[in-house]
Chains A and B, each alone.
Chain A
Amino acid sequence: MAAPLAECVAVSRQFGDFTAVDRVDLSLAPGEVVGLLGANGAGKTTLIRMLLGLLPASAGQVLLFGGPPTRQTRRRLGYVPQGLGLYDDLTPAENLAFSAAVFGRGRQARRGGGDGGGDGARAAAAPEAVHRYGRVLVGDLPLGMQRRVAFAEALQHRPDLLILDEPTSGVDPLARARLWETIGDAAAAGAGVLVTTHYLDEAAECGRLVIMADGRVVAEGTAGEIAGGRRVSVVEAGSWAAALDALEAAGLPAALAGRTLRVPGARPAEVRRALGPLPARVSEEPATLEERFFELTALAGR
Chain B
Amino acid sequence: MSGVAMSGIEMSGAPGAGPGWWGTDAVSVRYGRRVALDQVSFRARPGQVSAVVGGDGAGRSTLLRCLGGALAPSSGVVQRPRQRDIGYLPASSGTYPDLTVAENLAFRAAAYQIPAAAAAERSAAFLARAGLTGARDRLAGQLSGGMRQKLGVIAAMLARPALLVLDEPTTGVDPVSRADLWSLIARAAAEGAAVVLATSYLDEAERATHVLVLDAGRQIAVGTPGQIVAAMPGRLRVSAGRPPAADRPRAWRRAGRWRVWDPDGQAASPSPGGEPIQPDLQDAVTVAILGRELAGPAGTGAGPGAGTATGPGAGAAAGTGAGAGER
Contacts and interface: CB of A to CB of B under 8 A. Distances in A.
Contacts of B253: 177-178, 180-181, 184, 205
A201 B293 CA distance: 24
B294 to A, nearest CB: 11
A256 B189 contact: yes
A177 B308 CA distance: 25
B154 interface: no
Contacts of B168: 170
A82 interface: yes
A95 to B, nearest CB: 16
Contacts of B225: 258
A198 B173 contact: yes
Contact of A198 (B56, B174, B182): B174
Contacts of A256: 49, 182, 185-186, 189, 207
A39 B254 contact: no
B244 interface: no
Given A174-B289, A204-B255, A199 B321 contact: no
A109 B308 CA distance: 34
Interface in B88-110: none
B321 A169 contact: yes
A193 B131 CA distance: 33
B296 to A, nearest CB: 14
A137 B304 CA distance: 11
Contacts of B200: 170-172
A170 B171 contact: yes
A170 B178 contact: no
B304 A290 contact: no
Interface string B311-327: 00010011011111000
B233 to A, nearest CB: 16
A254 B162 CA distance: 23
Interface in A283-300: 290, 293-294, 297-298
Nearest to A253: B183
Nearest to B287: A174
Interface in A50-88: 82-84
Contacts of B206: 257
Contacts of B176: 39-40, 293-294, 297-298
A170 B172 contact: yes
Nearest to A168: B200
A71 B280 CA distance: 46
Contacts of A293: 175-176
A40 B174 contact: yes
Interface string B128-165: 00010000000000001110000000000000000000
A253 B130 CA distance: 12
Contacts of A228: none
A119 to B, nearest CB: 8
Contacts of B186: 244, 254-256
A84 B172 CA distance: 14
B131 A132 contact: no
Nearest to A134: B304
A82 B190 contact: no
Contact of A177 (B189, B191, B252, B302): B252
A204 B256 contact: yes
Given A255-B182, A258-B207, A169 B171 contact: yes
B68 interface: no
A259 interface: yes
Interface in A174-210: 174-175, 177-178, 180-181, 184, 198-201, 204-205
Contacts of A201: 202-203, 255, 282
B314 A142 contact: yes
Interface in A197-231: 198-201, 204-205
Interface string B286-317: 10011001000000011110011010001001
19 contacts: A42-B174, A135-B304, A136-B304, A143-B56, A170-B168, A170-B200, A171-B317, A173-B285, A175-B56, A177-B254, A181-B253, A201-B203, A201-B282, A241-B47, A253-B179, A256-B186, A259-B209, A294-B176, A297-B175
Interface of A: 37-42, 82-84, 118, 132-137, 140-144, 146, 166, 169-175, 177-178, 180-181, 184, 198-201, 204-205, 240-241, 244-245, 253-259, 290, 293-294, 297-298, 302
Name the 8 nearest CB pairs between A and B, nearest first. A172-B55, A204-B255, A241-B190, A177-B252, A256-B186, A142-B56, A170-B321, A39-B176
Interface of B: 47, 49, 54-58, 131, 144-146, 168, 171-179, 182-183, 185-187, 189-191, 200-203, 206-209, 224-225, 242, 252-256, 282, 285-286, 289-290, 293, 301-304, 307-308, 310, 314, 317-318, 320-324
Given A82-B323, A136-B308, 11 more contacts: A40-B144, A133-B304, A140-B307, A170-B171, A170-B317, A173-B202, A173-B285, A174-B289, A177-B286, A181-B252, A244-B190
